[in-house]
C-alpha cells in the first residue's frame, strides 16, 4: 500500500485514505468493478455481510494476484448478529467467504438498542486478541452511541457514517476527532446529488478535475477516509486521483457552508439517529 496515502489507526495499522465501496454490487458486476479497482491501484475494499458479495470480493482478489498483506479489507457485522455467539459465528463465516485468515477492520454495521454495545465490542476485542481482526470500528453511530461504546474501554478506530456536502456531520466528526476515532465517509457523493450543485461544478472547473474529485478531496481535506463506489472503470480511476491535489482552505470552507444536516441518502426504518 506504499503508493496510497494512509492514516495510522490507534491499533497501529495503516488504513488507506481512499477505499472502494461495494454496496449494491453483486455477481459479475461486482467482480468486474472490484477487479478494476484493484487494477488501477485501490488497496482498501469495503464490504459487509448484508451486501452479500464476500465471494465476489474474494474472486476479485484472486483475479488481481495481489498479496493479502498488500490489501486492507473492511467488513461489517449486521445488527441482528451482535450477540456474542452470533458475532463469533458471523466472523468465522466471513473469514471463510473471503478466504482470509484475518479481517483488517471489523465494524458494527448499525447499532441495535436490544443488544448492549459493550457485549459486542468485548466480543470484537476477543476476536482481535485471537488475530482474526486487526482493528475495531462502528458504523452509523451517533455521539451518544459512541459515548456508550467508549465506556467499554475497547479501542475503537473508526466510525463509518454518511458524509457529503449535503450532510456535513461536523459535530459528530469533531467528537470522533476529540476521541482519536477516524471518520469514514460512506455515500460521499450523495448518490450523485452532490455532483450537480453549482458550487461543486464551479470548483471542478477551477481545479480542472471532476465534480466527484472535488467532493472526495474536500472529505480527505477534513481528515476522513472515503469509500466511493462505481461500476464504471473511468470513474473508479478518477475517484482514486482525488488524493493527488490540494484544495484551497477558502474553497473547503465554501463547501462546509452548503450542508443541509437533514439530507440523508441512507435512512432505514431501524436507524437510531435520534439517540
Q: Tens digits of per-residue pLDDT, 116-171? A: 999 999 999 999 999 999 999 999 999 999 999 999 999 999 999 999 999 999 99
Dig out the grid coordinates for 118 from the structure: 459493550
pTM given for the model: 0.97
Coil vs helix vs strand at 87? helix
Q: What cell numbers appear for 113 in the block? A: 438498542
**Hey, which residues are catalytic here?**
51
Q: How confident is the model at residue 3, as a pLDDT?
A: 79
The DSSP letter of residue 157 is -
Q: What is the pLDDT of residue 52?
A: 96
Answer yes or no: is 54 a known binding residue.
Answer: no
Radius of gyration over alpha carbons of the chain, in Å? 18
| Contact assessment for residue 56 and residue 97, using Cβ atoms and an 8 Å cutoff | no
Concatenated DSSP letters for 12-74?
S-EEESB-EE-TT--HHHHHHHHHHHHHHT--EEE--GGGT-HHHHHHHHHHHT--GGG-EEE
Mean pLDDT (the chain, rounded):
96
| pLDDT tens figures, 1-47 | 457 899 999 999 999 999 999 999 999 999 999 999 999 999 999 99
In angstroms, the CA 138 to CA 146 distance is 9
User: Taking 80 as the threshold, does the pLDDT of residue 184 lie above it?
Assistant: yes
Q: Provide the strand spans (E) within 144-269.
A: 158-162, 182-186, 225-226
Averaged pLDDT for residues 202-221: 98
Predicted confidence (pLDDT) per residue in 52-107, tens digit: 999 999 999 999 989 999 999 999 999 999 999 999 999 999 999 999 999 999 99
pLDDT at position 37 is 97
Q: Which residue has the higher pLDDT, 268 or 1?
A: 268
Supply the pLDDT for residue 260: 66
Cell of 233: 472503470
Q: What is the pLDDT of residue 261?
A: 62
Domains and CATH numbers, the chain: 6-256 (3.20.20.100)
* Residue 259: per-residue pLDDT: 72
Note the pLDDT of residue 176. 99
Average pLDDT over residues 177-189: 98
Residues counted in the chain: 275
Amino acid at each position: 500500500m506504499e503508493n496510497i496515502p494512509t492514516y495510522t489507526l490507534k491499533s497501529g495499522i495503516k488504513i488507506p485514505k481512499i477505499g472502494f465501496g461495494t454496496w449494491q454490487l453483486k455477481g459479475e458486476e461486482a467482480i468486474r468493478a472490484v477487479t478494476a479497482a484493484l487494477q488501477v491501484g485501490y488497496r482498501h475494499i469495503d464490504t459487509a455481510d448484508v451486501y452479500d458479495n464476500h465471494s465476489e470480493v474474494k474472486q476479485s482478489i484472486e483475479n488481481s494476484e495481489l498479496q493479502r498483506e498488500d490489501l486492507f479489507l473492511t467488513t461489517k457485522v449486521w445488527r441482528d448478529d451482535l450477540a456474542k455467539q452470533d458475532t463469533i459465528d458471523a466472523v468465522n463465516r466471513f473469514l471463510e467467504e473471503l478466504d482470509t485468515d484475518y479481517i483488517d477492520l471489523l465494524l458494527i454495521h448499525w447499532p441495535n438498542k436490544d443488544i448492549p454495545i459493550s457485549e459486542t465490542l468485548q466480543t470484537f476485542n476477543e476476536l482481535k486478541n485471537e488475530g482474526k481482526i486487526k482493528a475495531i470500528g462502528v458504523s452509523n453511530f451517533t455521539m451518544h452511541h459512541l459515548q456508550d461504546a467508549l465506556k467499554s474501554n475497547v479501542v475503537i478506530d473508526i466510525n463509518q457514517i454518511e458524509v457529503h456536502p449535503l450532510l456535513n456531520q461536523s459535530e459528530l466528526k469533531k467528537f470522533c476527532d476529540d476521541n482519536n476515532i477516524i471518520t469514514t465517509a460512506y455515500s460521499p457523493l450523495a448518490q450523485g446529488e452532490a455532483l450537480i450543485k453549482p458550487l461543486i461544478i464551479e470548483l471542478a472547473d477551477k481545479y480542472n478535475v471532476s465534480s466527484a474529485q472535488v467532493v472526495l478531496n474536500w472529505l480527505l481535506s477534513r481528515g476522513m477516509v472515503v469509500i466511493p463506489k462505481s461500476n464504471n472503470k473511468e470513474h473508479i480511476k478518477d475517484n482514486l486521483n482525488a488524493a493527488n491535489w490540494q484544495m484551497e482552505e477558502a474553497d473547503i470552507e465554501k463547501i462546509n457552508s452548503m450542508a443541509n444536516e437533514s439530507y440523508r441518502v441512507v435512512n432505514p426504518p431501524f436507524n437510531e439517529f435520534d439517540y
